[in-house]
Amino acid sequence: MDVLGHLASGFAAALSPVNLTMAVLGSLLGTLVGVLPGLGPTAAIAILFPLTAVLAPVPAIIMLSAIYYGAMYGGSTTAILLNIPGEVASVPTSWDGYPMAQQGRGGVALGVAAIGSFIAGTFGVVALTLFAPLLADQALRFGPPEYFALMVLAFTAVVSLSGASLSRGIAMALVGYLLALVGMGPATAQPRFTFGFQDLYGGVDLIALIVGLFAISEVFLGIEEARVAIAAKITNIFPSRADLRQSLPAILRGTGIGFFLGLLPGCAPSVTVFVAYDAEKKVAKQPERFGRGAIEGVAAPESANNATSSAGFIPLMALGIPASPPLALLLGGLTVYGLSPGPLLFEKSPDFVWTVIASLYVGNVILLILNLPLIGLWVRLTRIPYGILGPLILLLCFLGTYSVRNSLFDVGVSLALGVVGYVLRKYHWPLAPMVLSFILGPLLEKNLIQALSMSGGSLLIFVQRRLSLVLLVAAVALLLLSFWLIRGTVKRVELATAEGAELS
């Protein structure tokens, strides 16, 4: 079947009542969590991840993807109205979005953000439809050495997920690998790193890890900060014709920058939004307007953010490489449901892949339909007291972690990791590399053992096979490129936020 045929059958499945409901529900829940001050897409996915555990794989991944999209949009709402970016990718939006809100044009800023996000998101999904199958067509050329090299390439994402300190990122990645080793060994089926505890024989559960590190620690930080609701009034949300004329070129430029940089594995939205904002400032006739409420300063980074996030689905689905922390959690979602993202995903589970891709188109439309009229509601939701919200999130975390394997031990693990995550976040340690390596660890190990068994223990097998060599060279090149991009962005964020940069 050709791409269009696959996509048509994907649409048929994505528009089924269950899948459509999950897309709507995910968009709503994602936006709901995203608009809460201080909570970004990563926290939103971590908090809502357990809810999807009771669903079948396709609706679950559709819901997770919709949560991701929704939370990203919600994040821009708090950045514009409250000057509280949920994560670094929303920082440039707040530079001009918040001044616009102060001038009484917050609704217009939100409207432009929604339109820019829609255009960029749709462009990204169209490209995903066209490009990902081309990459995945190489599936049959992949043996264990190539897969191992691919995992090494994926490991380069640790650099962009590490934020300002690479040493911390690598240390966290190693801890993630170590946790992945706990349980039964794949070669001899003997327990390892269990130290006699039978509860550890089944290994550490991914959801327990994600919920503990991201969701529980987030609530602890919220308690400490005594987060409070802030009032904001919204009047008109529809941009005028002049606003659209002014912002459309910025949306297109932001989309282009976000998309093409986002194709590089390891290039997260937190990098591309700054590049897009800088580019917009450079082409502007009056660059002094930026930082004082220039509509292009909202349109460009918001479009870049969404374009990069959509482009990130291409390396995620075709190669199994997540470009950002939320995508690392989505990768976790795929593995929880027994799916291995990578070249074989398109061949082994075409129905799943095309349904999810079609649901991304649907999700973009749902977000636009929901968000423009519901902006007033989202603003009111930012006023829910944290004293209600925090306990609800914690109770949901407890239940969600338990329900995956019906194990109280997993709950204990997530609570312990919640405390660890809280302390690590206080010290600005990046958590995403740990999740990435926890997910990649078993795949890396399996392919390393198989490749070395094929070669009788010789490492030369990785450079003797052409595709494997190409992937390893690409890994080195990407590593260098990521270093270069990250260094520039860290300086930019430090200047902007006057504190340690946390790009992840």
Partner 1 sequence: MNERTVTGGVLVLLGGMSVLEARRLASLREEMVAGAVVGDDTFSWIIGWSFLLLGFYILVVARWPVTHVSFPAGAARRRLLISAGMLVAYYVITPYLGYTLSTLVVSTGLYHAMGSYRWPVAFLIGCLTTGAFYLMFRVWLHEPLPTGWVGI
Contact residues: partner 1, CB under 8 A: 54, 164-165, 167-168, 170-171, 174-175, 177-178, 181, 185-188, 190, 192-193, 216, 219-220, 223-224, 226, 385-388, 390-392, 394-395, 398-399, 402-403, 406, 408, 411-412, 415, 418-419, 426-428, 441, 444-445, 448-449, 452-453, 456-457, 500
Q: Which is nearer to partner 1, 80 or 448 (CB)?
A: 448
CA distance linking residue 328 with residue 176, whole number of Å: 13
Q: Which is nearer to partner 1, 139 or 170 (CB)?
A: 170
CA distance linking residue 228 with residue 265, whole number of Å: 37
Among 182, 225, 242, 234, residue whose Cα is nearest residue 206: 182
Q: Which is nearer to partner 1, 17 or 457 (CB)?
A: 457
Residue 170, φ and ψ in degrees, nearest 5:
-65, -40
Among 320, 251, 315, 333, residue whose Cα is nearest residue 51: 333
Answer yes or no: are the C-beta atoms of 59 and 402 closer than 8 Å. no
Q: Which is nearer to partner 1, 113 or 151 (CB)?
A: 151
Minimum CB separation of residue 317 from partner 1 in Å reads 26
Minimum CB separation of residue 88 from partner 1 in Å reads 17
Q: Which is nearer to partner 1, 156 or 306 (CB)?
A: 156
Minimum CB separation of residue 361 from partner 1 in Å reads 29
End-to-end Cα, the chain, rounded Å = 39
Q: Which is nearer to partner 1, 286 or 406 (CB)?
A: 406
Q: Which is nearer to partner 1, 53 or 119 (CB)?
A: 53
Answer yes or no: are the C-beta atoms of 19 and 62 closer than 8 Å. yes
CA distance linking residue 40 with residue 497, whole number of Å: 17
Q: What angle do CA 189, 192, 195 make, to 5 degrees?
A: 135
Minimum CB separation of residue 385 from partner 1 in Å reads 6
CA distance linking residue 305 with residue 378, whole number of Å: 20
CA distance linking residue 397 with residue 50, whole number of Å: 7
Q: Which is nearer to partner 1, 289 or 428 (CB)?
A: 428
Minimum CB separation of residue 193 from partner 1 in Å reads 6
CA distance linking residue 401 with residue 304, whole number of Å: 34
Q: Which is nearer to partner 1, 171 or 481 (CB)?
A: 171
What residues are paired with 183 via a beta bridge? Answer: 192
Residue 197, both tokens:
């505890």
Minimum CB separation of residue 3 from partner 1 in Å reads 37
H or E element at residue 183? strand 183-184
Minimum CB separation of residue 151 from partner 1 in Å reads 12
CA distance linking residue 376 with residue 182, whole number of Å: 48
Minimum CB separation of residue 391 from partner 1 in Å reads 4
Sign of the CA dihedral with 269 first, then 270, 272, and 278 last = positive
CA distance linking residue 30 with residue 71, whole number of Å: 4
Minimum CB separation of residue 98 from partner 1 in Å reads 26
Give the single-character DSSP code of 140.
G
